[in-house]
């Protein structure tokens, strides 16, 4: 993890909720801090689960709060809120409490809250960024370029990443969307790009099949779940990216590359919040909505993980100085 920005000997703990998106956010910030960190997933029993974020912690987890306490706790997800509050009550100013996303409760008790820019919550202990934090730092992508996944390294340049999501609570992919996806992959291949495609756990088989159909015999790689997911290498090697517009996290991760990012929006359902996040990235010049062709454009890579980590370092130092 390189030299610790946060200082040697500082203990960082991640409290996870079991939701991948939440935990990816926290890992991204922890890695940007540069020091060592531990992870602990909380899984309160009923009725403590039902009472989150307002209620107490599950008594079976009482030993978690015994000293020595961590110096910084990063939490995300409704069920982690009581645990972060309990840590802060026990350790006071010796512990810096960070919540990622809006905790909806006990906001004043957090030392720092991160929210995406489209979230309306603001305050003296709030930092808002254009994209969500994630672990795909410039340093990690540079390492992936230096030692790329051999399944991708053999593909001729230029290369276009196809990053696939899937149905969410607000959106879904129709049969027409799958036809459009096939046509998009076919058009991008015709421009001379090799294709590097990776699905997520939400990707329906029919959408992945549409990518394969569009690729045909053109140069490309479609991850089928065998072996490690080469997602970091895909981001690192991409000269352009086509990302499905069902996840702000995925679109934001793509913008760390500085390569052109195109958004393929599903037509089923809709989310005004997600559309607003994509609009904000478009205004920054980092993304465009896909209209049938990849064009080259440039922008400064967006690293929200580093921005949030820098604010934690600054505030943590002030807290320690005040406590001393």
| pLDDT beyond 70 at 323 | no
Instruction: Residue 158: name the closest of 184, 130, 186, 196 by CA.
Output: 196
What domain range is 177 assigned to? 138-289
C-alpha to C-alpha distance for 2 and 177, rounded to whole angstroms: 43
Residue 7 lies in a domain: no
C-alpha to C-alpha distance for 309 and 5, rounded to whole angstroms: 9
| pLDDT beyond 80 at 223 | yes
Rg (CA), the chain: 21
Whether residues 66 and 172 share a domain: the answer is no
pLDDT tens track for 41-69 = 999 999 999 999 999 999 999 999 999 99
Whether residues 23 and 48 share a domain: the answer is yes
Whether residues 168 and 281 share a domain: the answer is yes
pLDDT tens track for 130-155 = 999 999 998 999 999 999 999 999 99
Strand (E) or helix (H) holding 41: strand 37-41
**What's 76's domain CATH number?**
3.40.50
Sort residue 2 into left (φ over 0), alpha (ψ -120 to 50) or beta: left
Q: What is the mean pLDDT of residues 152-159?
A: 95
Whether residues 180 and 276 share a domain: the answer is yes
Whether residues 90 and 110 share a domain: the answer is yes
| pLDDT beyond 70 at 28 | yes
Structure tokens at 174: 């129709």
Write the DSSP string, 264-297: E--SEE--HHHHHHHHHHHHHTSEEE--S-----
Confidence of residue 324 (pLDDT cuts 50, 70, 90): low
Whether residues 16 and 107 share a domain: the answer is yes
- Determine the pLDDT at residue 300: 95
C-alpha to C-alpha distance for 35 and 1, rounded to whole angstroms: 7
C-alpha to C-alpha distance for 229 and 231, rounded to whole angstroms: 5
Residue 247 lies in a domain: yes
Residue 100 lies in a domain: yes
pLDDT tens track for 59-111 = 999 999 999 999 999 999 999 999 999 999 999 989 999 999 888 888 888 99
Burial label, 284 (beta-carbon count in 10 A; 0-12, 13-18, 19+): middle
Q: What is the mean pLDDT of residues 174-198?
A: 96
Whether residues 76 and 171 share a domain: the answer is no
Whether residues 73 and 105 share a domain: the answer is yes
- Determine the pLDDT at residue 4: 53
Residue 160 lies in a domain: yes
Whether residues 71 and 123 share a domain: the answer is yes
293 or 19, higher pLDDT? 293
**What's 259's domain CATH number?**
3.40.50.2000
Whether residues 72 and 175 share a domain: the answer is no
Residue 297 lies in a domain: no
Burial label, 293 (beta-carbon count in 10 A; 0-12, 13-18, 19+): exposed
Whether residues 145 and 238 share a domain: the answer is yes
Residue 295 lies in a domain: no
Residue 6 lies in a domain: no
| pTM recorded for the entire structure | 0.88
C-alpha to C-alpha distance for 13 and 75, rounded to whole angstroms: 8
Q: What is the number of structural domains in the chain? A: 2
Strand (E) or helix (H) holding 251: helix 248-254
Residue 3 lies in a domain: no
User: Do the beta carbons of residue 134 and residue 150 sit within 8 Å?
Assistant: no
Whether residues 144 and 283 share a domain: the answer is yes
C-alpha to C-alpha distance for 215 and 212, rounded to whole angstroms: 5
């Amino acid at each position: 993890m390189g030299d610790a920005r946060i200082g040697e000997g500082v203990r960082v703990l991640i409290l996870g909720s079991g939701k991948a998106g939440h935990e990816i956010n926290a890992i991204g910030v922890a890695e940007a801090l540069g020091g060592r960190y531990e992870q602990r997933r909380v899984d309160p029993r009923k009725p403590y689960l039902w009472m989150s974020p307002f209620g107490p912690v599950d008594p079976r987890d009482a030993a978690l709060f015994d000293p020595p306490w961590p110096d910084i706790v990063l939490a995300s997800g409704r069920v982690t809120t009581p645990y972060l509050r309990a840590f802060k009550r026990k350790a006071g100013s010796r512990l810096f409490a960070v919540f990622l996303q809006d905790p909806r409760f006990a906001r004043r008790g957090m030392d720092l809250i991160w929210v995406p820019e489209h979230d309306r919550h603001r305050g003296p202990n709030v930092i808002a960024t254009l994209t969500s934090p994630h672990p795909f730092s410039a340093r990690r992508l540079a390492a992936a370029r230096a030692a790329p996944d051999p399944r991708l390294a053999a593909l001729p340049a230029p290369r276009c990443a196809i990053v696939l999501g899937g149905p969410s609570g607000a959106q879904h992919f129709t049969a027409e969307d799958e036809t459009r996806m096939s046509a998009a992959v076919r058009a991008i291949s015709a421009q001379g790009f090799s294709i590097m495609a990776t699905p997520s756990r939400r990707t329906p088989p029919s959408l992945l099949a549409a990518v394969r159909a569009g690729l045909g015999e053109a140069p490309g790689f479609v991850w089928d779940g065998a072996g490690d997911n080469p997602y970091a290498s895909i981001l690192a090697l991409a000269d352009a990216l086509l990302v499905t517009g069902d996840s702000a996290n995925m679109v934001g991760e793509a913008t760390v590359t500085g390569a052109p990012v195109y958004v393929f929006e599903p037509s089923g359902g809709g989310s005004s919040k997600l559309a607003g996040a994509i609009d904000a990235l478009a205004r920054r010049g980092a993304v465009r909505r896909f209209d049938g062709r990849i064009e080259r454009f440039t922008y400064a890579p967006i690293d929200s993980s580093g921005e949030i980590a820098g604010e934690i370092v600054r505030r943590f130092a002030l807290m320690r100085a005040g406590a001393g």
